[in-house]
Amino acid sequence: MSVLDALWEDRDVRFDVSSQQMKTRPGEVLIDCLDSIEDTKGNNGDRGRLLVTNLRILWHSLALPRVNLSVGYNCILTITTRTANSKLRGQTEALYILTKCNSTRFEFIFTNLVPGSPRLFTSVIAVHRAYETSKMYRDFKLRSALIQNKQLRLLPQEHVYDKINGVWNLSSDQGNLGTFFVTNVRIVWHANMNDSFNVSIPYLQIRSIKIRDSKFGLALVIESSQQSGGYVLGFKIDPVEKLQASVKEINSLHKVYSASPIFGVDYKMEEKPQSLEALTVEQIQDDVEIDSDDHPDAFVLDNVASEWVGLPPLPSARCLFGLGEADDKIYVVAGKDLQTEASLDSVLCYDPATSKWNEVKKLPIKVYGHNVVSHKGMIYCLGGKTDDKKCTNRVFIYNPKKGDWKDMPPMKIPRSMFGVAIHKGKIVIAGGVTEDGLSSSVEAFDLTTNKWEAMTEFPQERSSISLVSLAGSLYAISGFAMIQLDSQEFAPTEVNDIWKYEDDKKEWAGMLKEIRYASGASCLATRLNLFKLSKL
């Protein structure tokens, strides 16, 4: 697991956290400590202490330390000053912070109870600015201004440990020859023929560094964090001895970084504050049970009221799962556990009659990146990747009345991250990721004859296509494809277009080149009440 996948301090807003979560994590540094700060918005009249670190702002009540909050800099939208009414100081200038976390906005107002002191404003604003201007330490970057005169433009706390020539980037079929810069905070690759074709991979974002077999032979494979998009990057280094030495060096530097991360937020106070542990009062645990107040992570659209209604949270957070429905119940099928990253075979069912999630019969295999489609009271699970990260062509059908999964004839091509739809009595699948890369193949399973048949290939190899069958026509919408850029290089790019399959001609026809404002969208077939659209 990458450091980033475990890091929450700078990218979350939390209230009344434990004393352990109030302590600094590795790499987190206390920059300033301000006593006599009032949380005017949430705890007006309560004197507290404000702690400014390189990742977040913490505040806790001096009278009751368990009353506290943690605000990560990555959640902050704006920081301004405005007049506020403080119970302890009256009407005075206060620090106003607007944040957004998990689609929820929070407003904070802090008042310095020490008259005439601007330190609250200067510290918080300056440290937040230092965080915003140091994202190169923490963010995965493509095609940035990294190289100048064939040399890496170093960050303030960065040191180059090695420069590796003759490194092939395997993102395209022909490969691109370039150079590695290995530093104490990141790995940077750039193409020798085009400095602007580059990638910066901070150690913070790296989940794994391994040698794997590829169609080009043994290669260095770097897998990035889920938060950065879960990229898998391949690099070819010859000879094998040089490859092994490079992997050993990078793994060693990654291990050192993970033990003591460098987040790049460089701001020093003239007066050095005490450690956060010394300032944080140990909290006494109450002998009470507190119910979870997590935000819902599932929602349903009320067609009558034209409003989204939150459902109870899933028993465990997961991603890359399939979603089906039968008999007015919702089924969440397999996927990956967000905390452990383990593949899942569990299937959860939401019953609106009881407003509860229950676990039903498990899928016969653990799988993620698959697809699920529902038809006539049955749920079909197709393809995906198994524990060994290999694509599977297995297909299963779930009968909710019998409560069991059964094997069906397998797909012709094992694949994951593909589009699926029920169209004219057939399960149609298109595109996706196969063992050879992106695919343009299309196949259909006839629910009457129980046989798979090949269909006309999609005009472009792509993954994550949305297939929609509406009013007797089949549409393919958006996805990811390898697109040639102005530099003549190919890079994975999101496309926002619409294609229609013409059944009579057995061919795909382009309908719309670009859907504006549709980046990252999912599509479904539905009919809406036009008189209520303004409420959505």
Q: 525: pLDDT confidence band, cut at 50, 70 and 90? A: low
From 137-141, 174-178, 293-297, 431-435, the region with the lowest mean pLDDT: 293-297
The residue among 133, 161, 177 that closes a domain is: 133
Neighbours of 205 (CB within 10 A): 26
The pLDDT of residue 299:
67
Mean pLDDT of the region 145-149: 87
Mean pLDDT of the region 192-202: 90
Please check the confidence at residue 131 and state whether its pLDDT lies above 90.
Answer: yes
Neighbours of 498 (CB within 10 A): 18
Q: Are 314 and 332 in contact (CB under 8 A)?
A: yes
* Of 382, 322, 333, the residue nearest 359 (C-alpha): 333
pLDDT digit string, tens, across residues 414-473: 999 999 999 999 999 999 999 988 999 999 999 999 999 999 999 999 999 999 998 889
Mean pLDDT of the region 492-503: 86
Round the average pLDDT of the chain to a whole number and report it: 85
Q: What is the CATH number of the domain that holds 35?
A: 2.30.29.30
Residue 512: both structure tokens together: 């719309």
Mean pLDDT of the region 193-219: 90
Residues 37 and 129 occupy one common structural domain:
yes
Distances (CA, A) of 352 to 191, 323, 357: 55, 16, 9
* Of 34, 496, 27, the residue nearest 273 (C-alpha): 34
User: Using CA atoms, how far apart are residues 40 and 425, in angstroms rounded to an integer?
Assistant: 61
Residues of the chain with pLDDT > 70, as a percent, come to 85
Residue 128 placed within a domain: yes
User: Using CA atoms, how far apart are residues 57 and 126, in angstroms rounded to an integer?
Assistant: 12
The pLDDT of residue 302:
58
Q: What angle do CA 63, 287, 56 make, to 5 degrees?
A: 50
The pLDDT of residue 130:
92
Domains contained in the chain, number: 4
Phi, psi angle pair for 233, to nearest 5°: -110, 130
Mean pLDDT of the region 63-85: 92
Residue 269 placed within a domain: no
Residue 165: both structure tokens together: 């020539």
Residues 152 and 254 occupy one common structural domain:
yes
Contacts for 340 with CB less than 8 Å, ≥ 6 apart: none
Residue 268 placed within a domain: no
Q: 523: pLDDT confidence band, cut at 50, 70 and 90? A: low
SS3 of residue 56 by DSSP? strand
The pLDDT of residue 73:
95
The residue among 366, 391, 410 that closes a domain is: 410
Residues 227 and 247 occupy one common structural domain:
yes
Residues 320 and 426 occupy one common structural domain:
no
Q: 142: pLDDT confidence band, cut at 50, 70 and 90? A: confident
Phi, psi angle pair for 251, to nearest 5°: -60, -40
Q: What is the CATH number of the domain that holds 515?
A: 2.120.10.80
Contacts for 107 with CB less than 8 Å, ≥ 6 apart: 41, 96, 97, 98, 99
Q: 286: pLDDT confidence band, cut at 50, 70 and 90? A: very low
pLDDT digit string, tens, across residues 27-62: 999 999 998 999 999 898 899 999 999 999 999 999
Residue 291 placed within a domain: no
Cis peptide before 239 (omega within 30 of 0): yes
453, 456, 462, 463: CA torsion to nearest 10: -30
> Three-state SS across 122-169?
HHHHHHHHHHHCCHHHCCCEECCCCEECCEECCCCCCCEEEEEEEEEE
Partners of 510 in the beta sheet?
Answer: 499
User: Using CA atoms, how far apart are residues 378 and 385, in angstroms rounded to an integer?
Assistant: 22
User: How distant is the alpha carbon of residue 234 from its chain centre?
Assistant: 21
Q: Are 196 and 207 in contact (CB under 8 A)?
A: no
Residues 241 and 328 occupy one common structural domain:
no
H helix or E strand, kind and range, residue 494: strand 490-502
Residue 270 placed within a domain: no
The pLDDT of residue 291:
35
Residue 335: both structure tokens together: 């996927």
Residue bearing tokens 């965080």? 131
Residue 16: both structure tokens together: 């009344």
Q: DSSP code of 280? A: S
Q: Which range marks the domain in which residue 500 is found?
A: 412-535
Residue 277 placed within a domain: no
* Of 11, 56, 10, 14, the residue nearest 31 (C-alpha): 56
Residues 166 and 248 occupy one common structural domain:
yes
Residue 1 placed within a domain: no
Residue 282 placed within a domain: no
Phi, psi angle pair for 197, to nearest 5°: -90, 95
Please check the confidence at residue 327 and state whether its pLDDT lies above 70.
Answer: yes
Residues 144 and 239 occupy one common structural domain:
yes
Residues 465 and 402 occupy one common structural domain:
no
Q: Are 477 and 495 in contact (CB under 8 A)?
A: no
Residues 426 and 502 occupy one common structural domain:
yes
Residue 190: both structure tokens together: 């750039």
Residues 141 and 251 occupy one common structural domain:
yes
The residue among 410, 443, 472 that closes a domain is: 410
Residue 51: both structure tokens together: 């702690």
Q: Positive or negative CA dihedral for 516, 518, 523, 527?
A: negative
Residues 195 and 305 occupy one common structural domain:
no
Please check the confidence at residue 158 and state whether its pLDDT lies above 50.
Answer: yes
Across 264-278, 297-311, 397-411, which has the greatest mean pLDDT?
397-411
The pLDDT of residue 338:
78
The pLDDT of residue 279:
45
Phi, psi angle pair for 219, to nearest 5°: -145, 155
249, 255, 260, 265: CA torsion to nearest 10: 60
What global pTM score does this model have? 0.51
Q: Are 304 and 535 in contact (CB under 8 A)?
A: no
The pLDDT of residue 273:
52
Mean pLDDT of the region 478-499: 78
Residues 383 and 451 occupy one common structural domain:
no
